[in-house]
Amino acid sequence: MKIISYNVNGIRSAMSKGLINFMQSENADVYCLQETKANKEQINEPFIFEAAGYKNNYWFSAEKKGYSGVALFCKNEPDHVEYGFGVPEFDNEGRIIRADYGSKSIISVYIPSGSSGEERQAFKMNWLTFFQDYINELKGKKQELIICGDYNIVHKPIDIHDPVGNKNSSGFLPEEREWLTQFMDNGFIDSFREFNKAPHQYSWWTYRAGARGNNKGWRIDYCMVAEALRNNLVDAGIMQQIVHSDHCPVWVEVK
């Protein structure tokens, strides 16, 4: 099973740049998309996904138009799809969707950014606490979790081009990094780092100052895999050459 996670920064924009051709060529079993910024009804060619082989597509959009939103595109129909947490305070931003396949659950998640100011940073930290509690409860029912998405957190200095200059930046704050460490210590594997220990491996670049061309990026997109699936891991990677967004796709393959 190959799973590709991709913050598309607007699915309609990404589609205009060849997203559908990319999805067809990679032929992943599941695509976890984030920041779709659209409802399915806003897509001019709604059946294009079915034609690409993904008739099982599930969207959880934000109440605010053109903002946030997550989706799952699945080759095989899930046993169950769960939309959001069931908590309006968080669900009105459309940040989590889950597909269950037997003992496995695949989640597409878009963790909030705190870069716009203190209020949003506080919201982000509250969201992270709630998310951890949600995952802890879910683990009691589903041991084989795969949680893919834009975490909006850099884990270690190797994962950011300028750790010194960004030490006070949202996304690289000590409390955020500590949360991610504790999240992983609670039973999750950063699948990419299981297979690739090299520096300069990023998944997001600002549009400013030619950052992508100079590879001045951040690794904030992850495919986290539960420890229960450690022996099922086959490979994982980052597709830095794919350009439909300010992010690039990340992927994991499990048996």
Q: Are strands 80-83 and 104-110 parallel, antiparallel or unpaired?
A: unpaired
Contacts of 164 (CB under 8 A, 6+ apart): none
| Amino acid identity, position 40 | K
> Is 150 in the active site?
yes
What would the DSSP string read from start to end of 79-108? SEEEES-S-HHHHTT--EEEEEETTEEEEE
Quick count: other Cβ atoms within 10 Å of Cβ 73?
Answer: 23
3-state secondary structure of 173: coil
Q: How far apart are CA 15 and CA 54, in angstroms?
A: 15
212, 134 Cβ separation under 8 angstroms:
no
Which run of H or of E encompasses 228? none
Cα angle 10, 12, 13 (rounded to 5 degrees) comes to 65
Query: Whole-angstrom Cα distance, residue 198 to residue 245?
Result: 23
Rounded Cα distance between 37 and 221, Å, is 18
User: Are 246 and 240 contacting, i.e. CB atoms less than 8 angstroms apart?
Assistant: no
Q: Which residue is catalytic, options 79, 150, 162, 190? A: 150
Q: What residues are annotated to the active site?
A: 150
